[in-house]
Amino acid sequence: MQVLNYDVVIIGSGIAGLRALFQFLMKSGEKQRIALINKAQMMRSHSVAATGGTAAVLRPEEGDSYELHAWDTIRNGEFLSDQDAVFKLVEEIPKEIYFYDHIGLPWSRREDGKIAQRILSPHSFPRCAYAGGWTGFHMVQTLYDNATKFDNWDRFEECMALDLVMLDGEIAGVTVWDLIAGELYLLKTKGVIIATGGLGRLFKFTTYSYQTTGDGFAMALRAGIPLKDIEFIQNNETSLVPSGILIGSSARRLGGKILNAKGERFMERYAPETLEMSPKDVVARAIMTEIKEGRGFKGPKGLDYVVLDVTHLPERVKKITLSSIREPVMKLTGLDIVDSPIPIRPAAHFSMGGIKTDLYGQTKIPGVWAAGEVACLSIHGANRALANSTAECTV
């Protein structure tokens, strides 16, 4: 086993891990040595899948406010959010959006040149900044690109962190397994940031990539660090059967209808006013009720489903506006959304809970922090508001 010394070890190179790395690089000076570990390639973190955007109040003059962003977050979280943590998030994230802008992230723009923002449920104001359909990818890419300008960090790519090493109750290091060379490392350190993302792959049907197996949650528990809010798992309401990939809300926003096997638009019974555009949990529960009560279609591997129907929409919308849905659906199911409804059901999508930390990401053990989806400050309560997760990762 090789033994190496670092000032800080960061586990995970998603938005949270890379943002932490970049902050250290900017603030700590050349003398600090930092290790960044990722069990996949650095740029293949799950964060690249985030397409919808990052929520931030950029337009108080047009009617948005911190109070409104906080209200949308807290109400959507079923009033179980930690309100101090929510206010910290909404006050910090606008600065972060401009920070990314200044280091090169190509945010989509309005005609007047300002950063474009769109409205995504449950936000009551168009406050989700986005970079085309590739928000997460560009956040990761911009951070990684800027980090390469510094020399005082080492990449442990395709290397899996196995455990925190504790000595007399204090953090002493991290054990790491090089998945390509088979080598084992002990990285000695007094500072660890766990940024290993969510745990979607614990579930049979999920929108998450294969690397999202909850390693950080387990590592923390083994070291005696408590988890919090772990019972709250968000389901994405419209996920493609059988692969689980997320079908974005754009298809429904443009008029797509969800139908059961009897051809009924059943959301009329569950939420007659907001229908398919109701909050994620409302639509997900309605779909599962239909399936459990026998009004779904028989699916593979027990994955019974309902359908999202866009066949009645204009050709141009189906072929051009919804091309980012049409293409993967065709590839993964052989169906063309132009004339075939899309088989969907809810899938595990986000973990509201995680490693218990204070407002600054500090866990119970001094020197061990958690950041991003693996961490829990109870910002999201029982139900995360869309676009608040990339915001939390970066703040």
Do 165 and 224 meet the contact criterion of CB atoms below 8 Å apart?
no
Q: Contact letters (x/-) for ligand FAD, 143-172, by CB under 6 A? A: -----------------xx-----------
Residues 6+ apart with CB under 8 A from 167: none
Which one of residues 164, 195, 344, 395 is an interface residue with ligand FAD (CB under 6 A)? 195
CB of 308: closest distance to ligand FAD in angstroms?
Answer: 16
Bridge partners of 128, per DSSP, are: 55, 118
DSSP 79-142: T-S-HHHHHHHHHHHHHHHHHHHHTT----B-TTSSBPEE--TT-SSS-EE--TT-HHHHHHHH
Q: Are 352 and 229 in contact (CB under 8 A)?
A: yes
- Scanning 163-171, 194-202, 220-228, 290-298 for contacts with ligand FAD by CB under 6 A, the matching segment is 194-202
Which is nearer to ligand FAD, 45 or 260 (by Cβ)? 45
Stretch that binds ligand FAD, among 184-192, 255-263, 267-275, 371-379 (CB under 6 A): 371-379
Asked whether 207 and 199 are in contact (CB, 8 A), the reply is no
Among 82, 96, 215, 276, binds ligand FAD (CB under 6 A): 215
Give 167-199 as a DSSP string. Answer: ETTEEEEEEEEETTT--EEEEE-S-EEE-----
- By CB under 6 A, residue 72 contacts ligand FAD: no
One residue of 36, 129, 246, 344 binding ligand FAD per CB under 6 A = 246
**Contacting residue, 20, 36, 47, 117, with ligand FAD by CB under 6 A:** 47
C-beta of 34 vs 37, nearer to ligand FAD: 37
3-state secondary structure string across 220-233: HHHCCCCEECCCCE
Least Cβ distance, residue 272 to ligand FAD (angstroms): 28
Rg (CA), the chain: 21
Nearest-approach distance from CB 95 to ligand FAD, in angstroms: 17
HSE-CB at 331 with a 13 A cutoff on CA atoms is 8
DSSP class of residue 155 equals E
Among 4, 28, 43, 49, binds ligand FAD (CB under 6 A): 49
274-277 contacts at long range (C-beta below 8 A, 24 or more positions apart):
276/252, 277/121, 277/249, 277/252, 277/253
Q: Report if residue 121 touches ligand FAD, rule: CB under 6 A.
A: no
Identify which of 107, 378, 93, 120 has the alpha carbon closest to the alpha carbon of residue 230: 378
- Does 46 bind ligand FAD (CB under 6 A)? Our answer is yes
Rule CB under 6 A: choose which of 81, 141, 146, 211 binds ligand FAD.
Answer: 211
Instruction: Determine, following the binding rule CB under 6 A, whether residue 45 of this chain makes contact with ligand FAD.
Output: yes
Residue choice 8, 9, 10, 17 for contact with ligand FAD (CB under 6 A): 17
How far is residue 231's CA from residue 267's CA, in Å, rounded to a whole number? 26
User: Under the criterion CB under 6 A, does residue 208 sit at the interface with ligand FAD?
Assistant: yes
Least distance in Å: CB of 294 to ligand FAD?
29
Q: Determine the size of the site formed for ligand FAD (CB under 6 A).
A: 44
Q: Give me the least distance between CB of 331 and ligand FAD, in Å please.
A: 16
Assess 344 for contact with ligand FAD (CB under 6 A).
Answer: no
Residue 38 in the binding site for ligand FAD (CB under 6 A): yes
Q: Any contact of residue 244 with ligand FAD (CB under 6 A)?
A: no
Residue 238 or 388: the one with the smaller Cβ distance to ligand FAD is 388
Q: Which of 142, 207, 249, 250 binds ligand FAD (CB under 6 A)?
A: 207
Nearer to ligand FAD, 44 or 295 (CB): 44
The amino acid that residue 39 corresponds to is K
Residues 6+ apart with CB under 8 A from 384: 76, 77, 234, 350, 352
Structure tokens at 249: 């809300």
Residues 255-314 that bind ligand FAD (CB under 6 A): none
- Cβ atoms of residues 360 and 380 within 8 Å: no
Q: Which helix (H) or strand (E) holds 258?
A: strand 257-259
* Residues engaged in binding ligand FAD (CB under 6 A): 11-17, 37-40, 45-47, 49-54, 135-136, 160-161, 195-198, 207-208, 211-212, 215, 246, 349-350, 372-374, 387-390, 393
